A and B are shown apart, each in its own frame.
Chain A
Amino acid sequence: MLFKTLINHPADWMQGSGPHSEIVMTSRVRLARNLRGFPFPGYSQEHQRLELVQLARPCVDALPEMKDGYSEDYAKLSKTRKQVMVERHLVSREHAARANGCAVAVDRKQNLSIMINEEDHFRIQGIRPGLNLRSAWQLVDKVDTELEGALPYAYDEKLGYLTACPTNLGTGMRASVMLHLPALALTDQINPVIKAVGKIGLAVRGLYGEGTEALGNLFQISNQHTLGEKEGEIISQIEKVIERVINSETNARQKLVEDNPNMLQDQVGRAYAILRHAHILASKEALNLLSLLRLGADLDLISNCDRSLLDMLLLEIQPAHLQLRAGKDLSPEERDLRRAEITRTRLHSLAGPSNVSNNQPPPEAPTSDLPDE
């Protein structure tokens, strides 16, 4: 499959909906695997990494799941293309920063991606819409078993799958859930929730993983421990925690509707107005406003708004996606113009927000004085 074909098609997880889709964007499970007889990528020489890619790629490409998929050597991939895959969560930022001696394979529906020579020789990732860690785990488990039949994995009876970093030892599994928590953020309850989740040994991160900001009220929650527990136990623990966070967010949304309808309507209305009419949109601003618009759609303040439209837009306005579309590198200023343009186009037919509840007194005149188009 060509890169263009891959990227022109939305991933399965962007379109489909899964359990708790109104709050849980995606569920991902990744496995770290390594081969015996090769140093880990971070301590290897280029010829060793190339040798490994040569050995591993045919096995990866031959997986039944990779039929009609996309597979490429990093030497042949531009920076923008790699960055587009980061924005789609198909590869990690760390992997995209590497060049020679790395490769990636993605299945046709973008449910599965395999990075070769990331921090570990293999990072096998499954991604599903909504809260669906088990389905993501089943996918990577199957692929892992298939690969294991073809390649000599580094495995130790006591330590499990051997990984470059001891923090991934054992199962080598990281299960993470991407959550959209605007109501907890609006009501200043997000920090206690993050703290509580951190206390029970789970990690909370921003949109693009470790060390990234929680833009657009998007948070990733994942396990930190990988040794001493079974994969199913780790997933159950995360599921339990996520269900509690979902409850907190649902209650916060309900409370906003009941106790603070004006503020809610104001926030959603402003977001709608700016996104519909702005001509210069910075990335951070756009993500935060889209978050509020999504909240409005979830609470039926914005009617007939397909959530996948917003999720697709969220990706389309990312820097590398904009540059790929333009066919050239863009300055931040140029990107802000194009981001605003795409946003206006995509949201053109979207009707404005309605009242929160018919029982509430009609809101005051819109605070935004932007002209109508």
Chain B
Amino acid sequence: MKCDVCESEATVFLTQIINGQMTTVNLCDACSQAKGVTDEMGFGLAEAFLNQPTPTNDVTEGVCEACGFTAAQLKKIGRMGCPECYSAFRDGLDGLLKAMHKGTRHVGKTPSKITQSRHVQGNINHLREELANAVRDERYEDAARLKNEIDRMLNPTPDAV
């Protein structure tokens, strides 16, 4: 197996679990020493090799593509730049929200448009299950009818009565 850094033969194999995810790094002798792998206390796999910031409870890097707002600005003023920022800075947000609120998931009012589309989605899921059952039971007429129904729900024609 080759070293992840210099492609020499790897002799050190390191596994770390970061936020529940297992990450493995393979290193040669020289690289493992150069990166201080033997110093167990100060070694962070992701940071040292994979060029991925370790997810923390603090949002410090990144930029929102929609509005150009940066994580540094967020940290400074504690407010977002635009609604899309919540997707851009989603990592680490839960920790922040836990400290601020009773929960991290919205359970209150939902716009009626969303409720309607959820309802439609629920119906479609139900019809898909029925379709699968019909196919399994070789009830092909039912299956065809269900498929038409699903298609109609997915692509409603505006002039349909």
Contacts and interface: CB of A to CB of B under 8 A. Distances in A.
Q: Do A and B bind each other?
A: yes
Contacts of A35: 83
Contacts of A157: 106, 114
B46 interface: no
B93 interface: yes
A38 B66 CA distance: 9
Given A227-B100, A227-B103, A228-B103, A170 B78 contact: no
A191 to B, nearest CB: 25
Interface residues of A, number: 42
A288 to B, nearest CB: 35
Interface string A198-225: 0001000000000000000000000011
A38 B82 contact: yes
A365 B112 CA distance: 67
Given A43-B69, A141-B109, A227 B101 contact: yes
A43 B67 contact: yes
Nearest to B77: A42
Instruction: Pick from A42, A149, A155, A173 the residue with the most CB of B within 10 Å.
Output: A155
A34 B79 CA distance: 14
Interface string A139-169: 0010011001100011111111111111101
Contact of B80 (A145, A164, A227): A164
B108 interface: yes
A231 interface: yes
A67 interface: no
A229 B102 contact: yes
Given A43-B69, A145-B112, A227 B79 contact: no
B97 A166 contact: yes
B81 interface: yes
Interface string B55-86: 00000000000010100010001111111001
B69 to A, nearest CB: 6
A144 B112 CA distance: 11
B107 interface: yes
A169 B99 CA distance: 13
Interface string A155-189: 11111111111110111010000000000000000
A40 B109 contact: no
A39 interface: yes
A161 to B, nearest CB: 8
Given A154-B83, A169-B97, A225 B102 contact: yes
Given A34-B83, A39-B81, A166-B96, A231 B102 contact: no
Given A148-B113, A157-B114, A226-B101, A173 B108 contact: yes
B111 A171 contact: no
A228 B107 contact: yes
A43 B82 contact: yes
Contacts of A195: none
Nearest to B69: A43
B136 interface: no
A348 interface: no
A231 B100 contact: no
Interface string B113-137: 1100000000000000000000000
A148 to B, nearest CB: 5
A158 B106 contact: yes
A36 B112 CA distance: 16
3 closest A-B pairs by CB: A228-B103, A160-B106, A154-B83
Interface of B: 67, 69, 73, 77-83, 86, 93, 96-97, 100-114
Interface of A: 34-36, 38-40, 42-43, 119, 141, 144-145, 148-149, 153-167, 169-171, 173, 201, 224-231
23 contacts: A39-B69, A40-B83, A141-B109, A148-B112, A148-B113, A149-B112, A156-B83, A158-B105, A162-B83, A165-B78, A169-B106, A170-B108, A171-B109, A173-B108, A224-B100, A227-B101, A227-B105, A228-B102, A228-B104, A228-B106, A229-B102, A229-B108, A230-B107
